A = this chain, B = another copy of it.
Amino acid sequence: MSAEQVIGKINPPTVTPMRVGVLGFGGLGQAAARVLAPKREMVWVAAADQKGYAYDAQGLHPNACIETYQSEGSLGYLEPYGTLSSQSIQDLSERASVDGYFLALPNLPNTFMASVARQFIQSGWRGVLVDALKRTSAVEQLLELQDELQAAGITYMTGCGATPGLLTAAATLAAQSYAEVHSVKITFGVGIANWEAYRATIREDIAHLPGYDVARATAMSDADVEALLDKTNGILALENMEHADDVMLELAGICSRDRVTVGGVVDTRNPKKPLSTNVQVTGRTFEGKISTHTFTLGDETSMAANVCGPAFGYLKAGLALHRRGIYGLFTASEVMPQFVN
């Protein structure tokens, strides 16, 4: 048997590209569109924002979509593929043929992603949903939908961005060397040149600061955010954040959630990362040795690359599960993402 025949058996080539939608078209959604554009195994056919959606079964063009969104405020104005709608996600999911959606939505309020999941459950649509949720409490709301997702024929991959996501999965691997895991410490550095391209993400970060919560951060005007960042010289230093890495690692049986800590530094005025994002997993081996494995992301990789890449990797893995009839809720810690060519 030739190498190609063997490859064909193990990892059959996708004859028909997977049809992918992106919900939310802020900084993350637009990055997702650019990540998808060169892929051969996936075609980006659908996107929605708050005021409308765009759908083309032949594939949407990122530049045209981003220009329309930025100049006119909604993908609904995209000629000839846009439709204005005040219930854009519902309308799109009913009309589009899509195998899986990446939910690039800000989870504001903190119940929003679960409400979108419920919409999909009620719609009768069957396929794969992937989110890049951050907060423990948000992932816990999805955990409660496990039975309903399964009954609806939806394979939902939660916490599948960078952290939680890539780094949670790396912690899951690192844990394998140990008889007992003592701590998982995630430290991220994010540098962005212009915070206004990530308005919702920055508000989610602000909500983690002492004295802030999601409601207060959501209510801030751009001028309020600007004023806060002026005081901190553009830096947001975050400690002991509520991050779903903890519940995901607990569910995977790796350690109790109190052994997982997440913190980081966001520089909103400099694309250079203030520190290298990493996860350190400390544990005891079967021989009684204490040691630490470290997974460190290259400084030149952006938040967008480290979130969108894994998200589509989990979407591809989720589609493989869905095709085998495996539905329900999965986290980044349970499934190996598949590389999308």
- What 1/0 flags go to A82-95 for Cβ under 8 Å of B? 00000000000000
> B338 and A253: CB pair below 8 A?
yes
Nearest CB on B from A13, distance (A): 9
How many A residues are at the interface, by size bracket? 35 or more
- What 1/0 flags go to A157-182 for Cβ under 8 Å of B? 00000000010011011111111010
A144 in the interface (beta carbon within 8 A): yes
Chain B residues, Cβ within 8 Å of A144: 1, 6
| A274-303 residues at the B interface, CB under 8 angstroms | 282, 285-287, 289-302
Chain B residues, Cβ within 8 Å of A173: 166, 169-170, 173, 295, 310, 336-337
Which residue on B lies nearest to A296, using beta carbons? B294
> A338 and B252: CB pair below 8 A?
yes
Provide the bound-state CA to CA distance between A295 and B292, in Å: 11
User: Do A172 and B337 contact each other (CB < 8 Å), given the known contacts A178-B305, A291-B298?
Assistant: yes
User: Do A295 and B297 contact each other (CB < 8 Å), given the known contacts A1-B144, A305-B286, A326-B324?
Assistant: no
A215 in the interface (beta carbon within 8 A): no
A35 in the interface (beta carbon within 8 A): yes
> A10 and B329: CB pair below 8 A?
yes
Which residue on B lies nearest to A285, using beta carbons? B305
Provide the bound-state CA to CA distance between A143 and B287, in Å: 34
Chain B residues, Cβ within 8 Å of A68: none
- Total copies of this chain within the assembly: 2
Q: Which of B250, B292, B337 contacts A298 (CB 8 A)?
A: B292
A309 in the interface (beta carbon within 8 A): yes
User: Do A301 and B11 contact each other (CB < 8 Å), given the known contacts A34-B286, A172-B336?
Assistant: no
Chain B residues, Cβ within 8 Å of A309: 176-179, 285-286
Provide the bound-state CA to CA distance between A306 and B305, in Å: 29
Provide the bound-state CA to CA distance between A34 and B310, in Å: 35
Chain B residues, Cβ within 8 Å of A172: 336-337, 339
Provide the bound-state CA to CA distance between A290 and B301, in Å: 8
Q: Which of B10, B146, B166, B290 contacts A146 (CB 8 A)?
A: B10
Which 4 pairs, one residue from A and one from B, show the smallest C-beta to C-beta distance?
A: A291-B298, A291-B300, A285-B305, A289-B300
Chain A interface (Cβ within 8 Å of chain B)?
1, 3, 6-7, 9-11, 31, 34-35, 38, 140, 143-144, 146-147, 166, 169-170, 172-179, 181, 250-254, 282, 285-287, 289-302, 304-306, 308-310, 313, 324, 326, 329, 331, 333-339, 341
